[in-house]
Amino acid sequence: MKEILNSSRTIYRTEGYKEINHLYATLFRFLGQIPEELKRGEDAEFLMSVARRSVHHLVNLVYRPTSPEGASKDDEFSRRSIEDRWLAGYRDTVQALRNPGVLERAAGCDAGIFVFDFPKNDG
């Protein structure tokens, strides 16, 4: 059950981040279209300070244990279990970074968030 809650929270936060990034990029384009005299003043200066175009690549890494974990997995913080999780995260990161799309920017793209999810590797 906890895995479902964590997954839902990740999706929720990712969508919120996409919306905020879209807002900043839209504001950036809009401010480029208005006359200079409207860009004066405290409010306009603040809006110009947050308006930006940026590209972000998010990689969702999902911990998938190699052996079944019991009900105490949320309370298991032994050195071995933590090192196993770190190693799994490291391996997932290396695998994700081998995917060329993770680091490449789409042609003509100056703003946006690209989310990468990788299916369980059964091989």
46-73 average pLDDT score: 79
Which pLDDT score, from 0 to 100, does residue 19 have?
A: 92
- The domain containing residue 78 runs over which residues? 55-123
| 68 and 104 together in one domain | yes
Q: 58 φ, ψ to 5°? A: -105, 130
C-alpha 110/C-alpha 123 separation (Å) is 36
Here the contacts of 23-27 (C-beta below 8 Å, separation 24 or greater) are: 24/50, 24/51, 24/52, 24/53, 24/54, 24/111, 25/52, 25/53, 25/54, 25/110, 25/111, 25/112, 27/51
Domain termination site, one of 18, 37, 53: 53
Distance, CA of 33 to CA of 86 (rounded, Å): 48
Residues 44 and 77 in one domain: no
Are 120 and 91 in the same domain? yes
The pLDDT of residue 74 is 62
Give the pLDDT confidence score for residue 122 in this predicted structure: 47
pTM of the model as a whole: 0.66
Amino acid at 104: E
Mean pLDDT of the 97-118 span: 80
Residue 75: pLDDT band with limits 50, 70, 90: low
Cβ atoms of 91 and 64 within 8 Å: the answer is no
59 and 49 assigned to the same domain:
no
Which tokens belong to 118? 């990788």
| Number of independent structural domains in the chain | 2
Question: 11 vs 31, which has greater pLDDT?
Answer: 31
67: left (phi over 0), alpha (psi -120 to 50) or beta: beta
What's the token pair of residue 111?
A: 């703003």
